[in-house]
Structure 1
Amino acid sequence: MDNNRIIIFDTTLRDGEQSPGASMNTEEKIKIAIQLQKLGVDVIEAGFAAASPGDFDAISQIASAIDKSTICSLARATENDIKQAGLAIAKAKRKRIHTFIATSPIHMEHKLKMAPDKVVQKAIEAVTYAKTFVDDVEFSLEDAGRSEMSFMKEVVDAVIGAGAKTINLPDTVGYRFPDEIKAMVAELHKFINGRAVISLHNHNDLGLGVANTLAGITAGARQVECTINGLGERAGNAAMEEIVMAIKTRKDLFDGLYTSINTKEIYTTSKLVATITGIEPQPNKAIVGKNAFAHESGIHQDGMLKCQETYEIMKPSDIGLDKNNSIVLGKHSGRAAFKDKIKQLGFDDISDEDLQTAFDKFKVLADKKKEITDDDISILITDESLNKNKVYELVSLQIADCSNGMASAAVCIKYNDELIQDAAVGDGTIDAIFKTIDRITGYKGELNDYSVKAVSEGKDALAKVVCKVTFNSDNPPMIGHGLSLDTMLASGRAYLGALNSYLSMKDSLRSKSNPHQV
């Protein structure tokens, strides 16, 4: 192993999906996995195979679609979890099982209700069984940040003896400070003495996820577990883009350390994850936030005009963001210029069919919108790829406010080449639209979350609507995306997108006999 290379272990599809409201369907997960591979991620934790048939199916399809990155499934230290993980990643060219058990006194006593010697035994059994499926086994000491060093050494020694190649030290509740993480890693690095790779998984509860990760790297950790945009449970995980750019920007402090990440794919990956999950980074988010490279202060602007390095320690182009070429296309632009632009934006693997569909939508938009921005084009491409499986398609809608405060909506939907129309009233226009869609399709959805944002600036900005809808209490909520200059049209499309995702998931699970279930 190259001891200067930092292995990037991305858990956006597993821990990142545990962010409230960030659920993704299988098609969306595959799209993110393909982009993560393009980004240069070493290990993709594709999910938790034993969690549900849907998770198993998504991991299995990702394992078949990815040929460069290692595909990993999480598994508790139980026989069934490990079996599901092994079966789910069976088709992957490079595969890993990541199994874990808690090692902190508080977790062992209150969650596991197990004595320490029993925990060690379970850890050994888990790694030994995982080795019957894969050669590459990672073991995590859950809540390592609050575990006792002597016991961690005992567990680490045992699982390395059983065949674990990577030892992960999660600060599960984001409790530790950088100097504490550095000391923990340094002591275990000396104890392990090259027998396994040390990995870090730091949560951001105190805003220290990235700082703790970088501190651990300087002490000998050579794998970092992170997510795009810092997604994850509670306050999230250490953000991949911040870790990678910190190492690249401060080479003087990291003494030859590097990652395999193609940093020019960072912005595209961030936008894709934000679009799919509906969770946008805050404007002042480091590296990928809307204001990350914005300069409003007159003093800063003057300095930037004289020398960029006065107020920027990295270039927007380093992460694939072209700040100097944002408005170049209009209604007279041709297909060749459009294709060249989307390649500049990082969409160089788009099919001819998707390209033509996106171009047609671009021409329609250009007739209505004076200025077309890069953000407009990026969202057109992404929206098309997210809404390919259309069982139901919104054709048109008409809304009206009634004098008593109620609103009505007339909706036309295309289904199996047939146009179906109906109308309904509701408590507001959005409610009326959704109730009409329920009447037409026969599926009653419960709206869990709704958000709308302008894709770009100006009064003619595209509206991007994200809906989170539950159609069956036995299934997870579905996320739908809608795009239009008209917010009501975008809302209808988003709601139908959620329904189409639900139907796609049902069909996928129905077509499989789920032989992995025991």
Structure 2
Amino acid sequence: MNENVRRISFFDTTLRDGEQAPANAMGPEDKLDLALRIEALGVDRIETGFPASSPSDFEATRLISKHLTRARFTTFCRAVAGDVLAAVEAGGTANHQVQVAATGSDLHLKYKRRITREQAIEEVVESVRLARSYGVESVTVGIEDASRGEDDLLRPMTERAVEAGATGFVVADTSGAMTPDGYAALIRRFRSWVPAETCIATHCHDDFGLSTANALAGLLAGADEVQATLGGVGERAGNTPLEEIAAILAYKEDETGLRTDIDLAAMYGAYTVLRRVIRLEEPRNKAIFGTYAFGTAAGIHQQGVLRNPATYEYVEPARFGRTRSVLIGRHSGRTVLRHLLEQLGLEPDDARLEELYRVHIAERTDGDCEDLEVIKERLRQELLPQ
């Protein structure tokens, strides 16, 4: 193994931030099932929810804390003593990471919290100390809206939290406002403010469609961990999709110097269960998980794929537990039809090929697509003796 390659830790927040989006509610048993599936992917930390917010999240934390065998679980808390106590009561202290939410921008301090910078720093310090006093060894500070915070707030908050016993920081682009260069610069500043052993995690939202790009930029700038969700579910436009960042690290290890142990082939199965639980329709064009992420209907593409899939498949479907689909429609050409006929042992002349194309593709599909195997079977029944 290349010693210059860094292993990136994965933190899954599907069960907490993912559930915060409208219509994404999950019960405790659903969360337990998903947590075990997510753990099986090789994720390092799984956020169970916000125990102080509801009996459901409290119970989910209790269940998950008892059943995980490898991953650490994390609970979300406001910088409030009662929240920290509820988290510890729900999950105990073994294998437990408490994440304390901090207010990282003057905008949020003025209009959301209505407290001063000094009050914001003190409540974080006291909450970190409290969690450590209960015996929690891993206490992270999740700095909300850090991407719009000023350094003269973020730096003292960070340094004071380290002194109080914080072991990590989550640098949140809560509103999805950043671009990769800006987020990378922010991560580098955080990296310079804390001891080398302190974990820095990315938490990026997708309001500009940049959550994956920003998270990758943050990792390249020195972050140790990426917070992500299956399918990118989460507030508003969602979070960094776990499958996208895992795929990039798997394919681009030599280029990035970063690696992952995530089981790529098992991700789609876990995502399918999540979709069933929250009744989420499968998107057609989403990277890795989309219905047609590995499908093609354009004849000029199909010609290449049929001869060598690498012509249009840089990301390989089998590596992600998916299958290739060649779909026949009005943009498909004669090449794919000739390919089907050759598979059936037939070699029609050009006139017959044109007639078969008109009958079986151009006129029958009317703009819709049919799977290649469906048309192949129709041709078999019509052209081959029974």
Q: TM-score, normalised by structure 1?
A: 0.61
- 8 Å contact 1:171–1:201 — kept in the other structure? yes
- After TM superposition, list the pairs within 5 Å mapping 1:35-184 onto structure 2: 35-90=37-92, 93-133=94-134, 134-184=136-186
Q: d(CA) in 2 for partners of 1:158 and 1:195?
A: 16
**Contact 1:249-1:313 within 8 A present in 2 as well:** no
> Residues 61-117 of structure 1, C-alpha deviation per residue, up to 9 Å, x if partnerless?
111111111011100000000011111111x75211011121200111111111111
Where does structure 2 lack aligned partners over 5 or more consecutive residues? 326-369, 372-386
Q: C-alpha deviations, 1:472-503, integer Å up to 9, x for none?
A: xxxxxxxxxxxxxxxxxxxxxxxxxxxxxxxx
Residues 67 and 93 in structure 1, CA contact (< 8 A), matched pair in contact too: no
Tell me which residue corresponds to 2:341. none
Structure 1 stretch displaced more, 213-222 or 131-140: 131-140
Structure 1: which 5+ runs fail to align?
325-455, 458-518
2-side partners of 1:190 and 1:74: how far apart?
A: 26
CA deviation string 1:199-222 (max 9, x = no partner):
111111111111110111110011
Deviations 1:211-235 (A, max 9, x none): 1101111100111111001100111
Q: Which amino acid aligns with 2:311?
A: T
Query: The residue matched to 2:172 in structure 1 has which SS?
Result: strand
Alignment-derived partner of residue 295 in structure 2: 294
Report the equivalent of 1:32.
Answer: 34
For 1:71 and 1:280, how far apart are their aligned partners in 2? 28
Aligned residues: 323
Q: Distance in 1 between the 2:13 and 2:234 partners?
A: 9
1:222-261 pair list within 5 angstroms:
222-255=224-257, 257-261=258-262
Q: Distance in 2 between matches of 1:218 and 1:148?
A: 22
Identity of counterpart residues, as a percentage? 34
DSSP 3-state at the match of 1:131: helix
Q: Which residue of 1 aligns with 2:266?
A: 265
Compute the displacement of 1:312 (Å): 0.8
Shift of 1:3: 7.7
Pairing 1:489-508 to 2, within 5 Å after superposition: none
Counting helix residues as a fraction of each chain, which structure ranks higher? Answer: 2
2:201 — aligned with what? 199
Match of 2:206, SS?
coil
Matched, 1:220 2:215: no
Q: 1:260 offset after TM fit, Å?
A: 2.3
- What is the CA–CA distance in structure 2 between the aligned matches of 1:236 and 1:172, rounded to whole Å? 10
Q: Separation in 2 of the partners of 1:96 and 1:197? A: 12
1:414 aligned residue: none
Secondary structure of 2:133's match?
A: coil
CA distance in 1 between partners of 2:201 and 2:114 (Å): 26
Question: Are 1:229 and 1:281, in contact at CA under 8 Å, matched by a contact in 2?
Answer: no
Matches of 1:322 and 1:93, distance apart in 2: 41
Q: Give 1:22's aligned amino acid.
A: N
Per the normalisation by structure 2, the TM-score is 0.81
Deviations 1:415-441 (A, max 9, x none): xxxxxxxxxxxxxxxxxxxxxxxxxxx
Native 8 Å contact 1:82 1:130 kept in 2? yes
Q: 1:72, 1:89 within 8 Å by CA — same for their partners in 2?
A: no
Letter in 2 for 1:18: Q
Question: Hey, what does 2:278 align to over in structure 1?
Answer: 277
- Letter in structure 1 aligned against 2:180: P
CA distance in 2 between partners of 1:87 and 1:250 (Å): 42
Q: Which has the higher strand share?
A: 1
User: Counterpart of 1:225 in 2: which secondary structure?
Assistant: strand
Distance 2:151 2:282 in 1: 36
Partner amino acid for 1:41? V
Q: Deviations over 1:254-276 (max 9, x none)?
A: 12x11221111111011111111
CA drift at 1:161:
1.2
Distance in 1 (alpha carbons) for counterparts of 2:26 and 2:70: 23
Following superposition, the deviation at residue 135 of structure 1 comes to 0.2
What is the deviation of 1:252? Answer: 3.2
Give the structure 2 partner of residue 314 of structure 1.
Answer: 315
Native 8 Å contact 2:12 2:47 kept in 1 = yes
